[in-house]
Structure 1
Amino acid sequence: MTSDKIIDLLVARLVRDHGRSKHHWRKVLGAVRLYSRDTHPHCNWTVTPTGTSHEISVIESLMDDLRMRHPLLTA
């Protein structure tokens, strides 16, 4: 899975489960940060969301779920 595809997946689930627009969630999510597999062999990506505390909580819960399914991303 690529970083672009994980963002698309996050946005689709957020719109479906919590409403608002794709643009809103992409803005709140920001960019995916990838790390080297040498230093992060179990999970090489993260997102640092901004927004309300509720939005951040929702995103972090969803990210935890997706990290279990897609721990390693490619650029």
Structure 2
Amino acid sequence: MAIIMTPEQLRDLLATLLEGAAGGTHDAWLRAIGPVEKLPTHLNITCNWAVHPKGTAAQKNAIARAVELVREEHPYVAP
């Protein structure tokens, strides 16, 4: 059973994953990821969070792949 994380915990998890897989610093990945947005569950049944990454095309692609992996295990964030 998956743990339901807060948006900040999820953002930190994404940054840690990207730091290990793609290199760079944790802080740089946090900036590139931006905030994790909590979405209303009644409008988003399969998951309730999104990110709107910034940065280079390579960073955005890496973040998109990390989001796909993390979303499988953590589809929902806590308030």
Length-normalised TM-score, structure 2: 0.89
State the alpha-carbon separation in 1 of the partners of residues 51 and 13 from structure 2: 13
Aligned to 1:73: 77
User: After TM superposition, where is structure 1 displaced by more than 3 Å over at least 4 residues in a row?
Assistant: none
Query: Percent of pairs identical after alignment?
Result: 28
State the alpha-carbon separation in 2 of the partners of residues 42 and 5 from structure 1: 19
State the alpha-carbon separation in 1 of the partners of residues 43 and 34 from structure 2: 23
Q: Any gaps of 5 or more consecutive residues in structure 2?
A: none
**Alignment equivalent of 1:11, drawn from 12, 15, 26:** 15
Aligned length: 75
Q: Secondary structure at the match of 1:23?
A: helix
RMSD of equivalent CA atoms: 0.8
Amino acid in structure 2 at the alignment position of 1:53: A
